[in-house]
């Protein structure tokens, strides 16, 4: 039996695999979009994986925390990631999906002061933070700083509620929100399947925005 050799596919081969069935214009739109993910926990890590599998290759990833054992019930990390910075561990996994992705990862805590520098070059921003005050700060700062950027945030993902309770809605021309809007992880457990549902709703919204499908729906 001939031993199979591991050969890294070319960039063109990976693009073709990830974007099968899309038009050239759609492929170009996805590849050229610059998407930021703020927070790389249960939401952010799963959003990044979904976007990379969609062929979105320009990602800006921000988190200051390290992977802990307690994260493994819902976050896209593994036992050998424990102790590593989430930003570093996630890049390692995303490279296994698209070796040629243009990934900008920083170990940093997002503040109102550094948001203009860190997020200024991005077209779409995904809010994926745990703390309610940090969520509110990010949303408020982004919406008050830019009128041309899209913000996709999340609220209410805890517990074992029904899948159909996790919905996405357009708040205004710049702001989209996913989740059930009410469940609180301080009172309810964080179910990995439900967190991933919300993360994938956010990723799908990002793709729809990039491809112009949200604008068409609201015409």
Q: Which two tokens stand for residue 124?
A: 């779409």
d(CA 85, CA 80): 12
Q: From 82, 86, 78, select the one nearest 43 (Cα to Cα).
A: 86
pLDDT 10s digits, 119-155 = 999 999 999 998 999 999 999 999 999 999 999 999 9
pLDDT reading at 3 higher than 60? no
d(CA 216, CA 125): 21
d(CA 156, CA 63): 20
Q: From 69, 53, 62, 94, select the one nearest 200 (Cα to Cα).
A: 53
pLDDT 10s digits, 96-128 = 999 999 999 999 999 999 999 999 999 999 999
**5 DSSP assignment:** P
pLDDT of residue 191: 85
Q: Are 200 and 173 in contact (CB under 8 A)?
A: no
């Amino acid at each position: 039996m001939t031993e199979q050799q591991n050969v890294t596919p070319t960039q063109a081969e990976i693009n073709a695999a990830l974007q099968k069935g899309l038009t050239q214009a759609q492929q170009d739109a996805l590849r050229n979009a610059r998407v930021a993910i703020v927070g790389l926990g249960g939401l952010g890590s799963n959003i990044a994986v979904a976007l990379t599998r969609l062929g979105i290759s320009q990602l800006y990833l921000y988190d200051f925390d390290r992977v802990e054992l307690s994260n493994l019930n819902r976050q896209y990390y593994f036992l050998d990631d424990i102790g590593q910075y989430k930003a570093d561990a996630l890049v390692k996994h995303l490279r296994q999906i698209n070796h040629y992705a243009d990934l900008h990862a920083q170990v940093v805590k997002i503040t109102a002061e550094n948001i203009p520098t860190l997020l200024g070059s991005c077209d779409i921003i995904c809010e994926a933070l745990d703390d309610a005050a940090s969520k509110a700060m990010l949303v408020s700062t982004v919406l008050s700083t830019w009128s041309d950027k899209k913000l996709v945030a999340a609220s209410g993902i805890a517990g074992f509620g029904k899948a159909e309770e996790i919905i996405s809605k357009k708040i205004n021309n710049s702001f989209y929100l996913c989740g059930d809007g009410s469940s609180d992880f301080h009172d309810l457990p964080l179910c990995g399947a439900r967190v991933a549902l919300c993360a994938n709703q956010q990723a799908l919204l990002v793709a729809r925005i990039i491809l112009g499908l949200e604008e068409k729906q609201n015409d």
